[in-house]
Amino acid sequence: MVGPVVWSSELVVVSHQPVGMLGHLFVETRRHVATLDSLTVPEVEAVARAVRLVAMGLRAELAPEFVFSAVAGRQVAHFHQHVFVRHQGTPEALAWHEDWAEAPTGDVGALSTVLSRYF
């Protein structure tokens, strides 16, 4: 887990990035595996369900321009999927995966509590 836990099950944990841009969450498996293709079918299904619910919650609560999802990471040999927003007003010059220094910030714990309603 990275930051405040939004929701968890026997297979996955959803947490919010502890600092930085509001609306960057992680969906990770409880079982430690390095890659997507190492997940079991039930783990893949749990990840997919959690990612969808996180995206729905972020869209409803933050009204972003986009909600993105990516499996990327070479530094940690543990599967995790990023789900993050592109806030309204983000400069076009920023790539889809770049953080905007002036993006909205806020109470990550409060957002985590609100998002837990979507599970």
18: containing domain: 5-91+103-118
Dihedral class, residue 73 (left if φ above 0, else alpha if ψ from -120 to 50, else beta)? left
- Residue 43 sits in a domain whose CATH number is 3.30.428.10
Contact between 39 and 118 (Cβ < 8 Å): no
Is 20 inside a domain boundary? yes
Q: What are φ and ψ of residue 52, in 5° steps?
A: -60, -45
Is 37 inside a domain boundary? yes
pTM metric for this prediction: 0.90
pLDDT digits (tens, 9 = 90+) for 76-106: 778 999 999 999 999 999 998 888 889 988 8
Is 98 inside a domain boundary? no
As for how many domains the chain has, the answer is 1
Is 96 inside a domain boundary? no
Residues 6+ apart with CB under 8 A from 55: 67, 69, 83
CB atoms within 10 A of CB 119: 14
Is 56 inside a domain boundary? yes
Is 38 inside a domain boundary? yes
Note down pLDDT in tens along the chain; length 119 residues: 568 899 999 999 999 988 778 999 999 999 999 989 999 999 999 999 999 999 999 999 999 999 999 998 767 778 999 999 999 999 999 998 888 889 988 888 889 888 999 99
